[in-house]
Amino acid sequence: MKFNNCATWLGNTAAENARLSYLASLTGDIVQLYGLYGVFGNVGLETALGNFIQKAISPPYNMKRVAAIMGDEAGFNLAFTYNNSVIATKRFTEINFENEFWFGMRVDFEPRNAVVGQTYGFTVTFNGNTYSASTVAVLGDTLATIAQRLLAQINGLIPGFLTQIRNGSQVQVINRGNLLGFTYTATANMRATLVNLAFQDWLNAASAAHAITQANGWVLSAYIANPLNSWGYAEMNEMVKHIDDFECTNYQTTPNERSTVFRNRQLFHLANACANRGITRQMHALHSAEPAFLGPYFRANTVVAPPTTASEQYWTDLWNGDTFPNKASINWQGFCYFVYSDFVTAPAIAK
């Protein structure tokens, strides 16, 4: 299960125990933590983190792994630096890679301020062509009006790209045409945030992380999805070289193992790539308790209770009855759940 905002509850015994007890009640055995950027570098929170990890893997909870959820190589390095500073029982034993390359490389450009007379701008270079947007702030400008003028200059210029305003003042630039990367610059008064990696950069980050996790006996897992059918066997054939455990997104309103976006666009590629390389890889079905997905079903039917309509049993029956080429190359490990706060939001989901 994925636990969000860990910096806000690490060190709070009651909050820690509530989370571990809830996961144990679902027979879960892997803890994954969001919010670690607010923990690393803070001595007090790092101490609380180590104590929590030690608690999680010890009786009565006996968790198999505790994971750091990170989005890029810099994040991995923060987790590795932390691990190197503590004893073995306080270390992460899993790195969970979460970066949505399948939506295309994405950079968000945002003005840091709105100062009259200053020039705000950015460039994007793709396929040998450079595209730019630039504007000078005038009296009455806000972050939002500057962003809107920048968007107007670049919107529709880059073939295959989606450009739009996000959160009022961010110009979002996304390569929706393919999985290739682009380079970019921004003026000093603009913030440029790389959100989604290009696929090759994702692979490079996974390869670098896997060299370290493999040497230490840790696990490198990754959250993956394919809603736009933007990747296939060729990409998976590279991913399986570096990822030990795939969290395949199965975001539906019912526990449906047979959905096309899960089975055809993820499992088929995983099975065939593993078979091609003569390996097996672990797989968890990733389910979400968000209201738009399985949250209502969980509340109506429970998760692990005895009825055959309980989510895990219903899904497992479908999996056991399913056949497709090279299925044996997938070592199905159970379920991964997003996210704890959605499970316990009133009315809490019955176990």
pLDDT tens, 195-221?
999 999 999 999 999 999 999 999 999
Domain membership of residue 168 (yes or no) is yes
Residue 349 domain-assigned (yes or no)? no
Residue finishing a domain among 161, 196, 231: 196
| Residue keyed to tokens 């959100």 | 195
Same domain as 335, residue 272: yes
The domain that contains 124 carries what CATH number? 3.30.70
Residue where a domain terminates, one of 171, 196, 221: 196
Beta 119-126 vs 129-136: how paired, if at all? antiparallel
- Whether 350 is covered by a domain: the verdict is no
Same domain, 242 and 320: yes
Cα–Cα distance for residue pair 66/192, rounded to 1 Å:
32
In a domain, 179, yes or no: yes
User: How many structural domains comprise the chain?
Assistant: 2
Contact 90, 175 (CB under 8 A): no
Q: How far apart are CA 250 and CA 265, in angstroms?
A: 11
pLDDT in the model for residue 305: 87
Residues 96 and 134 in one domain: no
Residue % of the chain over a pLDDT of 70: 100
d(CA 230, CA 265): 9
Range of the structural domain that residue 179 is part of: 106-196
Q: Which of 134, 161, 196 is the last residue of a domain?
A: 196
Examine residue 180 and state whether it is found in any structural domain, yes or no: yes
Residue 346 has pLDDT above 90, yes or no: no
Whether 209 and 323 map to the same domain: the answer is yes
Tens digit of each residue's pLDDT (9 = 90 or more) over 49-86: 999 999 999 999 999 999 999 999 999 999 999 999 99
